[in-house]
Amino acid sequence: NTLNVARRCNYEMEFGQYKYPVFQVSENVSLEEKFEKEAREGLEKRLVRKESLEGSISTELKNEYEKRLTYELKTINEMGFAGYFLIVADFIDYARRSDIPVGPGRGSAAGSLTAYALKITDIDPIKYGLLFERFLNPGRISMPDIDIDFCIKNRDRVIDYVSEKYGRENVSQIITFGTMKARAVIRDVGRSLNISYAEADRIAKLIPEGINITLDEAVDAEPQLKAMEEGTDDERNLLRISRSLEGLTRHASTHASGIVISDRPLVEYLPLFKGPNGEIMTQYTMDQVAHLGLIKFDFLGLKTLTVIQDTLDLIEKIAGQVVKLDEIEMEDNETFKLISEGKTTGVFQLESAGMKELLRNLKPGVFEDIVASVALYRPGPLGSNMVDDFIKRKHGEIKKTYLLPQLEEILTETYGVIVYQEQVMRIAQVLANYTLAEADLLRKAISKKRAEEMAQQKERFLAGTTQNGLNVHKAEHVFDLIEKFGGYGFNKSHSVAYAMIAYLTAYLKAHYPVQFMAALLTEDMGSQDKTIKNIAECKEMGIPILPPDINESQVDFSVVGESIRFGLAAVKHVGFKAVEAIVHERERKEPFTSLREFCRRVDKSKVNKRVLEGLIQCGAFDFTGVFRSRLFASLNDAIAFGGISEDPNQLNMFDLFPSKEEGRSFEHTDIDEWEDDEKLRKEKESLGFYITGHPLDRFADVINQFATTTTQDLVTVKDKSIVKLAGLVNTMRIKRTRKGEKMAVINVEDKNGFTEVVVFPDVFAKCVTLLNDDRPLLITGEAEASDNAVKIRAQGIVALETVKQKAINSIIIPVSQEGLNRSCLMKLKDLIFRYPGECQIKFRINLDKNNKATVDTHNRYSIMPEENLIKEIESLVGAKVIYIV
């Protein structure tokens, strides 16, 4: 029977024919007519808006817009893509109508005036000199690729809209396959060979970080892996089997953005797959889907769009001011000041340490400088001195020169440096009579670096320049130049689109800093590292961060005056349902007045003892004026009064009856408040980070004097350079070397973030007690830079509290002649002998107004200059001690 069924199955796949989704238009109107009508009407609206914002538009400029649109419409219709544009414009229109933030554009689509007219993008390609042919080249027919950024919270709503409009059976996400890469395959095979996870993990982490690094490359680069090839049976087997499995498919997952929309149910074209969460996706990958002629659309989620919208909502809510993004001044001094000073934490595309350094050197003064920064901050330009050349030309340190007068108009915005692919295309058009479609083929040839293809292009270029009467040597020089710098060239359309988002976020940060940082903190709430960085940025900006408060906090971070109040959702183990219950009860009735009353009023099915512990520890009940320690110690009594369950999974049946405790008085346990360090520790325990202070705060002067970097600045440090970092051990993994010696990999935290520190056996043996002691440390070591991060290889670790003491050679105690009485000296002697050390004591005696004498003491009076000793000396002599380092 199965053979009979198999014989009757006959399916032939159709290739080379696009399966467009059906976009419904009126009976008497074609897709092309509908498309042209929408585009022309859209451009008219755009130009009216442009006039209202920028003043009247000349007839010549209007004609340029009309001519460009006519050319684009003709090209798109001839290529058969009218329906594609209408489909994209439709779901973007749905997003805008539904108040779902949409990005201004992405990739080469920002170079299309048609996309701008249809409100697919918000970038005016004529204003910024962008080229349609970079997006859609009539000389090489291929599907247009319009990637769209949506607010990350609401992306799924747009996908649901498309599914409803075109039929759920016609819409699917796209599968992607994870492969066994070098590190993953070591761990997987190690598990199969019963090698302990710790050992397999240790070996996996010997593989250098890098994109697509193979096991063979890792073995060549890492001596410890090389030694394993001659190591134990387990080690040899692990490498042998891992090599044979490397690169094979490991698991299926969903493509981050790809959505297929078809004209018929997808099962008629390809098999489908149901993911672990019930999501439907194709069994074919993105490239295979494209070969079948199915149309892919990219719906990307961009958190920055959410941050921008949340900021605008907070501005309107608090200040009653409606900020329209298209009305923002693009030459705002405060915005450029913020960018030029590198104060760009949280600013889209501009917040990495390296980018901040570039901005501080470049000091952008116009929007085009930001566009160039986005294009230049990539490995190629950074490694070619191109960036330094650009900066020096901007500041007049190097004269701007152009090989030919014709190049000045093309390269003037980038100070004579070829930065964009579009500039290469323009040069070919102006100097060698290329059409822009031909110039796009030259651009592709440069990026692919195919010798044969480049030889043909050079011949074509020189023939064109000869026709224009250019000197052959200069023409060859120009071609060599575009071949060299064009290889580093970036898509200007994409740079403009992302620079626009960067500018808008910088503007909001410059003018509405509290609202912007509150929105950013909310969006990054799930990332401990980013939250620490954002809190540090708020403190740098002078914005107080207030701890959670059950009477003031909302679900998310909120603005209170010129401060930011922590959101209740950020508290560990509280959960959204508990937060919702707290806020609902507070708004339904009135603010809470005490812990006992809170326990009595809240929904007991959602708020349990664990929730209350977290809220007390982070300061959410500080408004009561009762010490956190007393609230915590009294928690069981408060729970008994309120009838809250101690078990998070158990409802309290006694809630059905009146409490016998109602009439009793309630008193908190009478104990002292937690010490500051304990208070901060519990704060971090409940939130994942510190708010009201930081254990490093009291060492600020020592850190400023002795530390050379922070976790934030570490990425700018050169490989193999010696650094000193102050921080606390966040986590520690103990390992053993092949010789059986103990070593550790520690995760170190400072006020800006985290970094990894490797502590080899020789250092580990000397500082193991410090690593287990929860004390602030100063770590000296060698920076090890990789593609994604910088680690530190520790050479020495000391407690911060002893750093200054060890560095002080001597102290000077200022005294008057009258102060040098026997009683005072005897007390000093007693103090000194309690703190023996190697720091010499000197007395500076004030003889009279103009004369002083310094007297050295004998070595037996040398001390350890601990803080308590210095305080006692200063109290005794009534003067500040002077340190000599």
pLDDT in tens, 563-573: 999 999 988 88
Residue 48 lies in a domain: no
Helix (H, G, I), strand (E, B) or coil at 682: helix
How much is the pLDDT for 431?
93
Nearby residues of 766 by Cβ (< 8 Å), 6 or more positions away: 797
Task: Name the DSSP class of 857.
Answer: P
Q: Do 348 and 311 meet the contact criterion of CB atoms below 8 Å apart? A: no
Residues 6+ apart with CB under 8 A from 837: 805, 862, 863, 864, 865
pLDDT digit string, tens, across residues 844-870: 888 777 788 888 888 888 888 887 888
Q: Does residue 522 lie in a domain region?
A: no
Tell me which of 779, 804, 829 is where a domain ends. 804
Residue 387: is its pLDDT beyond 80? Answer: yes
Here the CATH number for the domain that contains residue 190 is 1.10.10.1600
In the chain, % of residues over pLDDT 90? 41
| 545 and 647 fall within a common domain | yes
Q: What is the reported pLDDT for 198?
A: 74
Tell me the pLDDT of the chain averaged across its residues. Answer: 87
CB 354 within 8 A of CB 378: no
- pLDDT tens for residues 279-316? 888 999 888 888 888 888 989 999 999 999 999 999 99
Q: Would 463 be classed as within a structural domain?
A: yes
Q: How confident is the model at residue 647 (pLDDT cuts 50, 70, 90)?
A: very low
Asked if 778 and 643 sit in the same domain, the reply is no
Q: Which of 496-510, 696-710, 789-803 has the highest mean pLDDT?
A: 496-510
Q: Tell whether 275 and 421 lie within a shared domain.
A: no
Query: What integer pLDDT is reported at residue 640 of this predicted model?
Result: 80
736 with 872, same domain: the answer is no
Helices (H), ranges, 80-222: 82-97, 113-117, 155-166, 182-192, 197-204, 215-221
What is the per-residue pLDDT across 603-624, written as a single tens digit (0 to 9) for each?
888 888 888 999 999 999 999 9
Cβ(138)–Cβ(437) below 8 Å: yes
Q: Return d(Cα 565, Cα 558) in angstroms, integer.
A: 5
Residue 165 lies in a domain: no
* Confidence class for position 210, pLDDT limits 50, 70, 90: low
Q: Which of 665, 687, 709 is the last residue of a domain?
A: 687
Question: Looking at the predicted structure, is the pLDDT value of residue 821 above 90?
Answer: no
Please give the pLDDT value at position 788: 60
pLDDT of residue 486: 67
pLDDT tens for 543-559 read 999 999 999 999 999 99
Residue 301, domain member (yes or no):
no
Q: Is there a single domain that holds both residue 375 and residue 461?
A: yes
For residue 657, pLDDT over 70 is answered with no
What distance separates the 2 farthest-apart alpha carbons in the chain?
118
pLDDT of 55 reads 85
Query: Which of 90, 48, 89, 53 minimizes the C-alpha distance to 65?
Result: 48
100 inside domain: no
For residues 730-737, average pLDDT: 81
Q: What pLDDT digit, counting tens, does each position of 396-407 carry? A: 999 988 888 999
Return the minimum-mean-pLDDT range out of 31-35, 138-142, 183-187, 499-503.
Answer: 138-142
Same domain, 366 and 490: yes
Whether 632 and 612 have beta carbons less than 8 Å apart is answered as: no
Residue 428 lies in a domain: yes
d(CA 413, CA 400): 11
User: What pLDDT does residue 838 have?
Assistant: 83
CA 460 from chain centre, in angstroms, equals 44
Q: Which pLDDT score, from 0 to 100, does residue 825 have?
A: 84
**pLDDT at position 663 over 80:** no
Residues 857 and 872 in one domain: yes
Do both 730 and 746 map to the same domain? yes
The pLDDT tens digits for 270-285 are 999 988 788 888 999 8
Judged by DSSP in three states, 8 sits in helix
For residues 706 and 612, membership in a common domain is answered with no
CA-to-CA dists, residue 694 to 215, 298, 375, 699, 724, angstroms: 42, 43, 38, 10, 19
CB 118 within 8 A of CB 85: yes
pLDDT band at 345 (very low <50, low <70, confident <90, very high): very high
Distances (CA, A) of 290 to 91, 469, 556: 21, 45, 42
Residue 252 lies in a domain: yes
- Cβ(717)–Cβ(785) under 8 Å? yes
Q: 110-167: per-residue pLDDT in tens?
A: 999 999 999 999 999 999 999 999 998 887 777 888 989 999 889 989 999 999 999 9
Is residue 364 very low, low, confident or very high in pLDDT (cuts 50, 70, 90)? very high
* pLDDT at position 658 over 50: no
Q: Give the whole-angstrom CA distance, residue 110 versus residue 104.
A: 8
Q: What is the CATH number of the domain that holds 783?
A: 2.40.50.200
How far is it, in rounded angstroms, from Cα 219 to Cα 227? 9
User: How many structural domains is the chain composed of?
Assistant: 5
Least confident residue range of 70-74, 112-116, 484-488: 484-488
Last residue of a domain, one of 485, 504, 523: 504
**How far is Cα 293 from Cα 20, in angstroms, rounded to an integer?**
8
Q: Which residue has the tokens 């069994």?
A: 283
Per-residue pLDDT, averaged over 262-275, amounts to 90
342 in Cβ contact with 495 (< 8 Å): no
Sign for the CA dihedral angle at 496, 502, 506, 507 comes to positive
State whether 722 and 759 are in the same domain. Answer: yes
pLDDT at 331: 92
User: What percent helix, strand, coil does the chain show, rounded to 5?
Assistant: 50, 15, 35
> Which range (151-165, 567-581, 630-644, 649-663) has the least confidence?
649-663
Q: What is the CA radius of gyration of the chain?
A: 34
Q: Are residues 337 and 281 in the same domain?
A: no
Cα separation, 119 vs 88, whole angstroms = 10
Beta carbons of 861 and 841 less than 8 angstroms apart: yes
Write out pLDDT tens, residues 402-457. 888 999 999 999 999 999 999 999 999 999 999 998 998 888 888 888 788 888 99
| Domain encompassing residue 181 | 175-292
Co-location of 282 and 341 in the same domain: no
492-529 in b/e burial notation, b at 16+ Cβ within 10 A?
A: bbbbbbbbbbbbbbbbbbbbbbbbbbbbbbbbbbeebe
Structure tokens at 400: 């701007």
Question: What confidence tier does 656 reach under pLDDT thresholds 50, 70, 90?
Answer: very low
CA–CA distance, 625 with 459 (Å, rounded to integer)? 83
Q: Which residues lie below 8 Å from residue 225, measured CB to CB, with a gap of 6+?
A: 203, 206, 207, 218, 219, 239
